[in-house]
């Protein structure tokens, strides 16, 4: 029996670096949001082994794939002796700051618990997910969430709604390690970790219709835009096309823009897509809708 599930993307309304942690990671405060573009994962039970199938040239099909690692981690943790073939149909650009691989891993955990007839406590699920990446736990929740710590400590918030978003990716690959390594000293000072973030003010005061200009913030833009000037040019093009606010998502290189109407967004999409860039009109995906999609799909599988 095959099981097909969507694996949605995310954007970051805000991303603040509060300092360098003793463990070598950076302390983050970020507001995460699921959006409506998605990969599709198809799960087919096997007697044994883990197989990954994907025709995207940038997606590995070996033990380094996050889907493979999620399946292996779940099998080892539960002691289950079953196999799985996962076919990944990519619609989200890779290495794009949209959480495509992390979402794939999270969906794999959800699907295999059902197909393998194992059950993890929420605590165990979140701990296993965090071992694979800071964004993975967020995709167990969806909607609008505050992420703290490395970004893997997730707290659900009231959903922010935006119906006319445009994602733009010019195909620039931005190495995450390089981005964090190029942060200015004031963002990596260990003594600054406990400073109060501005995430709530920025997001909840700014993401309101009365604002003429939405105040979005991503500290990772500092090193990325300094090195990849094209991303700054994309932001300016989107603003000239009428966007209320634009921001790089995550560590890049996707830029998202917020528009007032479908007409304004479509005009921007036509203009920017002429450059050969990937452009996707999306909307925010609230938590209730996000979780209902998986609940309904998994309920069809007979235990």
Mean pLDDT in the chain? 90
pLDDT value at residue 196: 46
Same structural domain for residues 149 and 19?
yes
Residue 107 and residue 69 share a domain: yes
If one counts the domains in the chain, the total is 2
Does the pLDDT at position 198 exceed 60? no
The verdict on 14 and 148 lying in the same domain is yes
Same domain, 292 and 173: no
Q: What is the pLDDT of residue 150?
A: 84
In 3D space, the residue among 142, 267, 164, 143 whose CA is nearest the CA of residue 209 turns out to be 164
Domain co-membership, 23 together with 151 = yes
> 96-115 pLDDT, tens per residue?
999 999 999 999 999 999 99
Reading the block at residue 263, the tokens are 């007409």
Supply the pLDDT for residue 206. 47
Residues 23 and 82 in one domain: yes
pLDDT digits (tens, 9 = 90+) for 142-167: 999 999 888 889 999 999 999 999 99
Kindly report whether the global pTM for this prediction surpasses the value 0.75: yes
Q: Are residues 119 and 253 in the same domain?
A: no
> CA quadruple 125, 148, 205, 281: dihedral positive or negative?
negative
| In a shared domain, residues 113 and 178 | no
Same domain, 133 and 206: no
Show the tokens assigned to 169: 């990716």
Q: In whole angstroms, what is the distance from residue 188 CA to residue 191 CA? A: 9
Grade residue 190 by pLDDT with cuts at 50, 70 and 90.
low
Torsion of CA 233, 239, 243, 248, to 10 degrees: 30
Whole-number pLDDT of residue 39: 98
- Looking at residues 123-129, what average pLDDT do you find? 96
Q: Tell me whether residue 114 is one of the annotated catalytic residues.
A: no
Catalytic residue among 10, 114, 217, 244: 10
Beta strands, E only, the chain: 3-20, 26-46, 50-53, 83-89, 144-149, 153-156, 165-169, 217-218, 245-248, 255-258, 278-282
Annotated active-site residue in 20, 82, 135, 235: 135
Element (H, E) at 19: strand 3-20
Helix 287-299 and helix 100-115: axis angle, to 10°?
40
pLDDT at position 21, please?
79
What's 114's domain CATH number?
3.30.230.10
Measured between alpha carbons, how far is 281 from 269 in angstroms, rounded to an integer?
Answer: 8
Domain that holds residue 9: 3-158+286-299
Lowest mean pLDDT among 16-30, 107-121, 261-275: 16-30
| Average pLDDT estimate for 213-219 | 76
Distance CA 100, CA 7 (A): 7
Residues 175 and 111 in one domain: no
Residue corresponding to tokens 């969430």: 145
Is 300 noted as a catalytic residue in this protein? no
> Looking at the chain, how many residues does it have?
303
Listed residue (261, 290, 297, 293) closest to 144, CA to CA: 290
H/E element holding 287? Answer: helix 287-299
CATH number of 191's domain: 3.30.70.890
């Amino acid at each position: 029996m095959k099981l097909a599930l969507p694996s949605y993307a995310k954007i970051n309304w805000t991303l603040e670096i509060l300092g360098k942690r003793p463990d070598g990671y950076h302390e983050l405060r970020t507001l995460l949001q699921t959006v409506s573009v998605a990969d599709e994962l198809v799960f087919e039970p096997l007697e044994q082994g883990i197989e990954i199938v994907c025709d995207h040239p940038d997606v590995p099909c070996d033990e380094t794939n996050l889907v493979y690692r999620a399946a292996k981690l779940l099998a080892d943790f539960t002691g289950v002796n079953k196999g799985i073939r996962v076919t990944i149909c990519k619609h989200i650009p890779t290495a794009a700051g949209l959480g495509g691989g992390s979402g794939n891993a999270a969906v794999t955990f959800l699907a295999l618990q059902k197909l393998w007839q194992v059950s993890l406590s929420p605590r165990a699920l979140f701990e296993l997910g965090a071992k694979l990446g800071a964004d993975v736990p967020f995709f167990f929740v969806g909607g609008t969430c505050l992420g703290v710590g490395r970004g893997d400590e997730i707290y659900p918030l009231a959903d922010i709604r935006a119906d006319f978003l445009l994602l733009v990716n010019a195909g620039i690959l931005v190495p995450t390690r390089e981005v964090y390594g190029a942060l200015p000293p004031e963002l990596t000072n260990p003594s600054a970790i406990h400073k109060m973030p501005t995430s709530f003010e920025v997001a909840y005061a700014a993401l309101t219709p009365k604002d003429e200009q939405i105040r979005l913030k991503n500290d990772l833009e500092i090193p990325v835009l300094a090195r990849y000037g094209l991303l700054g040019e994309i932001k300016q093009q989107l603003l000239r096309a009428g966007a209320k606010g634009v921001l790089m998502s995550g560590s890049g290189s996707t830029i998202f823009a917020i528009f007032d109407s479908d007409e304004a967004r479509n005009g921007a999409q036509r203009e920017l897509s002429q450059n050969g860039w990937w452009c996707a009109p999306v909307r925010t995906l609230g938590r209730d809708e996000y979780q209902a999609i998986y609940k309904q799909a998994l309920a069809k599988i007979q235990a």
